[in-house]
Structure 1
Amino acid sequence: MTITKALVDAVQRAANRAVEQRAASWILASVTVVNADGTVDLSTARGPVPGVRRLKSYSAPAVNDVVKVSRNSDGNWIVDGALA
């Protein structure tokens, strides 16, 4: 591999990571803890996420619920609701 090719590959990987980090997305997660302050702790494919707010329509969270979670480009998380 040439130095030019290695540099191009490194720049491409860095650009892909930057776009992924700034993009809004949604994922599935499992509720691990229901907190008294209206938040839940989650287990995701990316690792644990503590203290995520939930929509009012998800009014009865329970440990082990599988939920849809949205993340905006600033890195804020919200639980949209449980799957049926």
Structure 2
Amino acid sequence: MTSKLAEAVQRAAERAVTQLGASWFLATVTAVNAGGTLDISTATGPVSAVRRLKNCTAVVGDVVMVAVNSSGNWIVIDATAS
């Protein structure tokens, strides 16, 4: 019984972290799209049409900082220094 409870607590904790956690990471710009979005390549694969901040001037090939909020929304902050 104790192991089932521990497993249930573990699963609930993993779901909470996945659903409620915010994070940031680095990605490479693969395309600059009209309308203020970028296509990026992340460690887990490509992501299309990520919104960027208004002052973000990243171009193809730039390494950018990407933030993901707890709702799963992505935004490119800007390019890192070269």
Fold in common (TM above 0.5): yes
1:24 corresponds in structure 2 to 22
Helix, strand or coil at the partner of 1:15? helix
Map 1:69-80 onto structure 2 (within 5 A).
69-80=66-77
Q: Report the Cα offset of residue 17 of structure 1.
A: 3.8
Which residue of 28, 36, 39 corresponds with 2:37? 39
**TM-score (normalised: structure 1):** 0.79
Helix, strand or coil at the partner of 1:12? helix
Q: Report the Cα offset of residue 4 of structure 1.
A: 4.6
1:83 corresponds in structure 2 to 80
C-alpha distance in structure 1 between counterparts of 2:48 and 2:28, whole Å: 12
Q: Report the Cα offset of residue 58 of structure 1.
A: 1.1
* Distance of aligned partners of 1:21 and 1:46 in 2 relative to their CA distance in 1, 3 Å threshold: farther
The one-letter code matched in structure 1 to 2:46 is P
Which of structure 1's runs of 4+ aligned residues deviate more than 4 A? none
RMSD, aligned α-carbons: 1.8
Structure 2 unaligned spans of 5+: none
Structure 1 unaligned spans of 5+: none
Aligned residues: 81
